[in-house]
Every structure is written in C-alpha cells, then in structure tokens.
Amino acid sequence: MVNALVLAALSVLSTVYACGDHDAHDHSKRAVPPKPLTPPSRALEWGDINILHTTDSHGWLLGHQKTSFPEPNYSGDLGDFSSFVTRMKEIAIVCLAFFTNVCAWNNQNDRKKMSICYLLTLVTCMTVGHPSAVLTARVTSCGLIGTGLTDGFPPGGVDAHEANQFLQQLPYDVMAIGNHELYIYANTLDMHNNFAPKLKGRYLSSNVNITIADKKGKTSSVPVGSRFAKFKTRKGRKITAFGVLFDFTGNDKNTTVQKVADMVKEKWFADAIREEPDLFLLAGHMPIARDNWPLVFDAVRAVHPSTPIIILGGHTHIRDCCAKLDRKGSKKNITFSRRYLDPNRLTYEFHSGRAKAAFDTFKGLSITRGLKALAKKFDIDFLFGTAPHDFTINQVPYPSENSLLTLFIEEASPIATAINNTRASIPKLMITNSGSQRFDIYAGPFTKNDQLTSSPFADHFLFIPNVTFSAASQVLPALNHAGADQRRSVREELERREREMYARGYVDRRYNEWLEEMDRRSGAERRAAGNLTLGYVTTDACPGIGDDTLHAPLPFHSVPDFIGSRAPNVTADAPVDLVFVDFIQTQLLGILNSVQKDKTYAVSDVQQYSPLLTSEILGVYAQQAWN
C-alpha cells in the first residue's frame, strides 16, 4: 500500500504571525486564544510511504501569534515542526526496526508467532502497516510578501538569506523552487550559491535556470538547484523526484523559466525517467488543478504505464486533492490517502504521541531560539500602536468599520500622507487597488512585522492636480467597470488580466474563489452551530474527509478591485487632487481620459504626492491614531 500523509502546513496569505512589542508581547510568549484549540478528529493513517508536505509558507516561521481565530490554528513555529518531523520519523523507524529485527528474526520459522508479534507492533506504534519511510517534501515560496523574518532585513541584505539557515536544518528529502525566489536576481543567486548546496542535490528547479559568470567573465545558464533527484527510502524504495515551477513570467532578467510543455521534451528529462523507480514524486510550485501537471504526468506515464506517481502541488494557497489522472488506472494495487493538518503544537503532540517537554527536540528548540534572535535582530517587534479591534479584508463587508480596506483608504492613507504635505488642505480623492492589502490586522499590538505582513508593497503615491470633481469622481466606478453596457468586454478584459496576473505570480483570485465557495457551501450552518472554531473546511475530489481538525469556515465577502477615499464636500466643477498609487497609473490615465474631454492627461501631468510609500502608511497611522 502506498499511502501519503499530506501536511498542509502553512496556508498562504493567512499565515504565520509574530506579535507583540519588546516587553509584554514579545515572541517568547505564545498568545492564549479565547477558546481552546480543537484537537485532531482522528489518528493518522500510515502506509508504506508517508509524506509530510509543506507549501507556501512565505517565510512565516514563527507561527501565527494573534488570539483571534483562525490564527491560533497556525500557531506552531518552525522549531515545533522540526520536532514533529523528528518524532514522526522516530515512529516509522522504531516500528520498522521492531518488526524487522525482533519479530521477523526471532520468529522466522514460525509464521503464527511472527503474525502475533506483528499485531503487537501495530498496537504499540498506533499504525496500520509498517511504514518504510517518512519523507519530507517542501514546495517553497520564500522571500517577498512574507513576514519580517524574510522581508524585514536591514538595507543591503538579501531576501530570506538569514531565515533560510533555519529551513536548511530540517531533514527535507525534496524541496522545489517557488516564484518568489525569482523576482529579484540577487535572491535567485543567493539561493543558487548558498541555499541549494546545503540540500546536496535535493533543491529542485527542473525548469528554472540562472545565468552566472565564471571567474573569466564567461556566462552560462545553469539550473538554480538540481533538475531532479534519485534516492532510496530507509527500506530501499527507489524514488525519482522532480521540482517544477508553473509557467511563471514575472522573473527577473538573467533567470529563465522554461515552459512545462517544453521541459518534458528535453533529453535530460527523458534520460531521468528512463529507469523505473518504485515511485515518481512530482513536487512543484504549481497547483494540482487548472495548471500543467497533466503534461508532466502524461510524459512519465508514456514511459511507465503503471509506476505509482504522487504529485505535490502548491502556489494557490489552497488545500486540494485531485482524483488520480490515470485514465485506465494503474495495474498495481495502490491505496492513497491524504490529511490536511493545522500546524500547531496540539496537532503535533496528538499525532506524535508526545506532549510538552517530551515532544520537543534539541534541534527544534534551537531553531525556535534562533528565529526569536533573528526577530530581535531585525527589530520586527517594534510597536507602532495597539489596534482597537480586528480589521479584515474579506471576513466583513467593504466598506465597513471592521474592514481593513476601509481603514487603509478612508482613514490611514489620508491621515498619513497629510503629514508634512503642502497640499494637505486641498480637497482630494485617493484611489488604490484592493490587492495592495495582503493580510488581516488583528486586535492588539501592531508591530513592524504586522505592517510588513499586511501591507508589503512599496508603491508611491502620485497625483494629478486640478481635476474637476465631476471627472475625478467617475474614475473609481469606471475602474471597477460599473457600467452594465460594458459587461461582456469587461469580463473578457478581467479574464485577460487574470491570466496575465496569474502568470506573474498573483493568486488572490483563485484563493478568494476557494474561500468564497467554502463559505457558501457550509459557512452559515456551521458557524450557527457554535461548537466549532473558525478555520478551513476542505472539499476536494479525493474520497473521505481531508481535514484533520473540524472547523466552521470563515465568512467571506467579495471586494472590488479598486477602492477609494471618502469624497470631499465640494461642487461638481471644483478642482481636486486625484491621488493614486503608481501601480495603477496606466489604467487610471486611460480611464480619466475616457470620462472627460476637457483635457488629455499624460504621464507628464503626474506628480509625486507624498514621500511615504504604501508599505509605510499603516505604521505611521498607528503611531498617530492607536497610541
């Protein structure tokens, strides 16, 4: 039986948090949630091959530390996870060793006694089989849009360089490259020179290259890590693994992402799959649905019609499992199961059979201490102020008092950009894209780390002076395509834009569709019952219940693509400053020229409105309003 235990450890945009100021709320103290954590609903199933799979952690290594649910569900840190991996491997090794060295050896001529001994082994180890291995696979996404541990480094540093030293300490059998390693060449080079070598051929970048120069200045394009890896499990099972990135287009110059369709035609790929292993492990930063995994699967299946293939995906920040891709089905008797685990100590201790001090390992504690030291070094606990209540992106309607988008565009941006601004007294309309805010703000200390997490994009505020209020007030509705007569062209444009944004690495739409469907399917009913904490409620294409811990889904409210500040109290023909972020400049100019004919506006009409970047707004506002 091939059985995969899947750990959906860190689930994207809503992930690991570090909270607190330097004293009462520092990282050495774990937050106590208002309700106790819900334990797992049942024991794990074990099989011949068991995989712990993590993805999309984005540098969230100290665990969510806020008290509002669902944050406590994800409060385990990387040190806790390290201890969990060690304990699970111990269970597998001890059980295997006991059966092989004691039962089989002492009773090799007595099948009845050997069977009894085997049954006792099952009871002792709490398994349904004798696991040959616990593999640990990671589909990475380091760096940008993470927490202060990866993005909060001092000027001159490299994204995730120091945080990666802790990832290197975990016994990952396979790691696959993600898109965030490729936006900046210096980050990719650091991964190639300093990170990949530590994994000794197990950091996989099957279709991703970097251009480097030798000592004589001659350049060559080489894999960032390794194209594939071949290894054996403790019991001798042969594994052939690949690490594939989706067709990403947002990579920096001197890096190359080969299309998946072209990768599977390469000679090296054909050579790598020629020998039949016991299992093909396809890991990669590419979702298992609505993307190109079938291309890789079919290429392998064309050579090996019945060899087991396991695909471990990522990138869209959702928990998902697809039915097997085999059209005729494998000839081998294979049983597969998956389980999505909430990454917290209660989960880890429950499944490892160890609690509190007995659970922790020396290495796990060392990793936790090192992460806390790094947080202190980067000063990510710097306290801007104390948030009076939760401000969320999708859990409440927009606009509303508890909406982070409302807070950002109606309160924080006007107040923060008015500081030391000679145009502060001039009426204005401010517009930004809703995607500029990436994560919820929760009640309590609002720190540098929270600012980096919630609002990571460093966009500039620009403006066009002397736009009539009547024209300026039409820009936001037009950006959001309010006109009914434009719906078809708008839909086509949105789909085109979504394809382009997805290729550049943006997954908000798919992730939000998943959250919305979750809420629509069972949200109101489960929340009304009152006996479940908020969290993920997964429905996928694989049999059985995938969630390890039962939850009620979060409420979900859609938000527009663009958001604006409150309108000033002026007449229609009054001149106002039309303020916007540079990220949307091209779109906004086009819209402005379409809603009025008095003047054709160009880039030359655009000026800088404030020296503050969008990533600084919430911190400045918190210092003004939350102290």
Q: Is the model's pLDDT at 531 over the cut of 70? A: yes
Q: Is the model's pLDDT at 177 over the cut of 90? A: yes
pLDDT reported for residue 390? 98
pLDDT reported for residue 132? 55
- Predicted confidence band at 6 (pLDDT cuts at 50, 70, 90)? very low
Same domain flag for 120 and 68: yes
Domain that holds residue 221: 49-378
pLDDT, tens digit, 9 for 90 and up, residues 111-139: 566 556 655 555 555 443 444 567 777 76
Q: Is the model's pLDDT at 110 over the cut of 70? A: no
Same domain flag for 401 and 342: no
- Residue 374 tokens read as 């790094």
pLDDT reported for residue 21? 30
pLDDT reported for residue 9? 34
- Residue 354 tokens read as 């160890």
More confident residue, 23 or 537: 537
> What mean pLDDT is reported for the chain?
87
Decide which of 333, 351, 378 is a domain's last residue.
378
pLDDT, tens digit, 9 for 90 and up, residues 472-513: 999 999 999 855 455 566 567 667 878 888 899 889 889 999
More confident residue, 127 or 587: 587
Phi, psi of 97 (to 5 degrees): -65, -40
| Residue 525, in any domain of the structure | no
pLDDT, tens digit, 9 for 90 and up, residues 207-240: 999 999 988 889 999 999 999 999 998 888 999 9
pLDDT, tens digit, 9 for 90 and up, residues 67-79: 999 999 999 999 9
pLDDT reported for residue 2? 38
| Residue 472, in any domain of the structure | yes
More confident residue, 432 or 160: 432
Place of tokens 């409210």: 557
- Residue 211 tokens read as 């251009």
| Residue 501, in any domain of the structure | no
Instruction: Look up the CATH number of the domain holding residue 426.
Output: 3.90.780.10
Catalogue the E-assigned strands of 226-365: 228-232, 238-245, 255-257, 279-285, 309-312
Q: Is the model's pLDDT at 60 over the cut of 90? A: no
pLDDT, tens digit, 9 for 90 and up, residues 434-470: 999 999 999 999 999 999 999 999 999 999 999 999 9
| Residue 255, in any domain of the structure | yes
pLDDT reported for residue 484? 47
Q: How far apart are alpha carbons 18 and 599 in whole angstroms?
A: 49
What average pLDDT does this structure show over 34-63?
89
| Residue 443, in any domain of the structure | yes
Catalogue the E-assigned strands of 408-448: 428-433, 444-447
Same domain flag for 123 and 243: yes
Q: Is the model's pLDDT at 24 over the cut of 80? A: no
Same domain flag for 293 and 417: no
The total of structural domains in the chain comes to: 2
Same domain flag for 285 and 414: no
pLDDT reported for residue 17? 22
| Confidence (pTM) | 0.88
Q: How far apart are alpha carbons 213 and 362 in whole angstroms?
A: 41
pLDDT reported for residue 125? 55
Q: Is the model's pLDDT at 309 over the cut of 70? A: yes
Instruction: Look up the CATH number of the domain holding residue 300.
Output: 3.60.21.10
| Residue 541, in any domain of the structure | no
Phi, psi of 55 (to 5 degrees): -155, 155
Q: Is the model's pLDDT at 340 over the cut of 50? A: yes
Same domain flag for 358 and 441: no
| Residue 148, in any domain of the structure | yes
Taking alpha carbons only, the member of 122, 158, 121 closest to residue 143 is 158
Decide which of 378, 393, 409 is a domain's last residue.
378
Counting residues of the chain whose pLDDT is more than 90, the rounded percentage is: 70
